[in-house]
Amino acid sequence: MAIRIAVIGVGKIARDQHLPAIAANPAYELVATVSRHDPELSVPWFADLDDLLASGITVDAVALCTPPQVRYGLAVKALQHKLHVFLEKPPGATLAEVESLRAMADEAGVTLFASWHSRYAAGVEPARAWLAGRSIRDVRIIWREDVRVWHPGQAWIWQAGGLGVFDPGINALSIATHILPRPFFLTEATLEMPSNCQAPIAADLSFTDSAGTPIHMDLDFRQTGPQSWDIIIQTDDGELKLAKGGSVLTLPEGVREDEDREYPELYARFAALVAGGQSDVDIAPLRHVADAFLRGHMRAVEPFIE
């Protein structure tokens, strides 16, 4: 029987990615949406989760596509009703929230999935396989994009808990924590904070691992022209480059580029977790962001005006 799923928060990411992925996967049946405004779809719409839960519609799972600041309360309600929960990235506004949800899901006997869509980009798994057993000398992460293009009118991203430039930057961290063979940790960071915002517009971070490998990360929301979502790794056997957010992999032997399957793969993974009675809650990318706020030097910059 198909997983009867409701999408909570029908904004850009839900329309662009979640709804098409659900529609294309026979493991799911979309039975409802919850959003502040009627998305005018062919399923019942509710203004809040309580109304959906009281409606009598049978729901097995929810996909939470809201801003992270309000996600915890919604997830708690869903777990209390023994619903499986799919969390859009980042999985929460704090590490403690996510750990609390993990414990609740375990107690309720349902699946909790902290999704990291960039890990499912076409080049990521081949990159991980190629790096295994190789000696890494240097890692550079360059994640620069125009916030006005990719996050227009999204005031929540500049509020406390919205992560600012780490909202896309955490995608790079989700890839790096997956493909690099050793855990790494922050040594220093500078976060550039617009004077009218509570989250950074740019960040420069340095990490290392137990072998002393230098890992540098450059994040910026002010990029115009060509956008940069690149991870460049120098090894004893040559250079590996993941470009376009992980979809294009360049190795010494050539270039590999495949179609975007990130969200279809995420929903396939969620269905497998539900079928197997398992959860997948990796908080490593969010931990690195939290460390940046803990240890980073905050530098005030000009106000951000959209």
pLDDT band at 94 (very low <50, low <70, confident <90, very high): very high
Q: Residues 12, 89, 241, 244: which is the catalytic one?
A: 89
DSSP string across 110-169: --EEE--GGGGSTTHHHHHHHHTTPPEEEEEEEEE-BHHHHSTT-GGGGSTTS-TTHHHH
The residue ranges of every structural domain in the chain are 3-114, 118-260+290-301
Give the mean pLDDT of 191-218.
Answer: 97
* Residue 12 a catalytic site member: no
Looking at domain 118-260+290-301, which of 1.20.1280.50, 3.40.1180.10, 3.40.50.1220, 3.30.360.10 is its CATH number?
Answer: 3.30.360.10
The residue type of 31 is V
Q: Has residue 239 got a pLDDT over 90?
A: yes
Task: Quickly count: other Cβ atoms within 10 Å of residue 279's Cβ.
Answer: 18
Q: Is the pTM of this model over 0.85?
A: yes
pLDDT in tens, 44-72: 999 999 999 999 999 999 999 999 999 99
CATH annotation of 3-114:
3.40.50.720
Q: Has residue 259 got a pLDDT over 90?
A: no
Give, for 249, the enclosing helix (H) or strand (E). Answer: strand 248-251
